[in-house]
Amino acid sequence: MSIADNIKSLKKETGPGVTLLAVSKTKPAADLQEAYDAGQRLFGENTVQEMVEKYEQLPKDIQWHLIGHLQTNKVKYIAPFVSMIQSVDSLKLLHEINKHAEKAGRVIDCLLQIYIADEETKYGLGFDEAIELLRSEEFATFNNVHIRGLMGIATNTDNEKQIRDEYYELKTFFDGIKQSYFRKIDTFDTLSMGMSSDYKLAIEQGSNMVRVGSTIFGNRVIKHWKNN
Ligand SMILES: *Cc1c(COP(=O)(O)O)cnc(C)c1O
């Protein structure tokens, strides 16, 4: 099946209530252009360098989402154009995003990345840390970031019950956070969970944004010298 066909069938399957983010990391610009020509506008990249390179090559109405760990010293390269940063995992990073968004005269949409997997890896805030961030005095001073919701990555396992449980926990946390901290703000509306292997389970548990790479673009060549 072509990239266009894959997108079409995914959209049909996930339905209108779920936003499809096409995760294009490691894929050449031509593949993204093919997806774009099929109507796809939201693309996810996990490194700043790749996102900047593709941003320069591709149509300017693409909405770029950063989904990988972001180092504070690289925020400046994407602040002028990034549509959403889904991988906010510290107050320090959010501070930096706010600073560069202000310089660029923008308000940048962000998701807090929440650590839900049962793995010794990765980034993300614990539930307590996320609450601490939202309650901090410093957070209240940020005028150029806009927290739109939460993102989570489930454990890489075949155990469907475990994946369901992790997504269920994140959905429950999302509802609680919305109720406690964003009650009057109807733009805290994005729960990004699910990738190629588990988006069905994620949607079943309440996801409204899935980040799908290999099901659209085919398998990635694994680069062992890189993190992803
Ligand atoms: C790579 C990646 C995805 C997409 O993975 P696929 O298995 O190719 O769908 C989703 N989310 C994050 C954070 C990723 O890094």
CA of 54 to the centre of ligand 1 (A): 18
Q: Return the percentage of the chain with pLDDT > 90, whole number.
A: 92
Domain count, the chain: 1
| CB-facing half-sphere around the CA of 7: CA atoms within 13 A | 23
Neighbours of 14 (CB within 10 A): 21
Amino acid present at 199? Y
Does residue 221 belong to any structural domain of this protein? no
Q: From 27, 211, 212, give the residue whose CB has the most ligand 1 atoms within 8 Å, as the site to mutate.
A: 211
CATH label of the domain that carries residue 117? 3.20.20.10
- What is the C-alpha to C-alpha distance for residues 10 and 200, in angstroms, rounded to an integer? 10
Question: Is residue 218 domain-resident?
Answer: no
From the CA of 197, give the closest atom in ligand 1: 7
The answer to whether residue 164 is domain-embedded is yes
Gap between the Cα atoms of 141 and 138, Å rounded: 5
Q: Ligand 1 centre and the CA of 181: distance in Å? A: 29
Q: Is 228 domain-assigned?
A: no
Is 226 among the domain residues? no
For residues 86 and 46, the answer to whether their CB atoms sit within 8 Å is: no
pLDDT of 179 over the 50 cut: yes
Among 3, 10, 23, 84, which is best to mutate for testing ligand 1, by the most ligand atoms less than 8 A from CB? 23
Closest approach atom of ligand 1 to CA 220:
8
Per-residue model confidence (pLDDT) at position 120: 74
**Structural domain boundaries, residue 120:** 3-213
pTM for this model (two decimals) = 0.96
* Residue 228 pLDDT > 50: no
pLDDT band at 193 (very low <50, low <70, confident <90, very high): very high
Please tell me which residue, 1 or 161, carries the higher pLDDT value: 161
What residue type is assigned to position 43 of the chain?
F
Give first-to-last CA distance, the chain, whole Å: 25
Look over the chain and give the mean of its residue pLDDT values, rounded to a whole number: 95
Class of residue 92 by CB neighbours under 10 A (exposed 0-12, middle 13-18, buried 19+)? exposed
Q: What is residue 67's three-state secondary structure?
A: coil
In a domain, 77, yes or no: yes
Mean local confidence (pLDDT), 131-150: 98
Q: Tell me, in angstroms, the distance from the centre of ligand 1 to residue 112's CA.
A: 16
Return the structure tokens found at 16. Answer: 């209108």
Do the domain assignments include residue 131?
A: yes
- Inside any domain, residue 224: no
The pair of three-digit structure tokens given for residue 213, joined into one six-digit string: 């790479």
**pLDDT tens-digit profile of 206-223?**
999 999 999 999 999 875
Q: How does pLDDT run across 51-100, given as a tens digit for each residue?
A: 999 999 999 999 999 999 999 999 999 999 999 999 999 999 999 999 99
Contact between residue 163 and residue 200 where contact means Cβ atoms under 8 Å apart: no
Q: For residue 146, what is the enclosing H or E element?
A: strand 145-153
Look at ligand 1, atom 12, and give the residue with the nearest C-alpha.
67
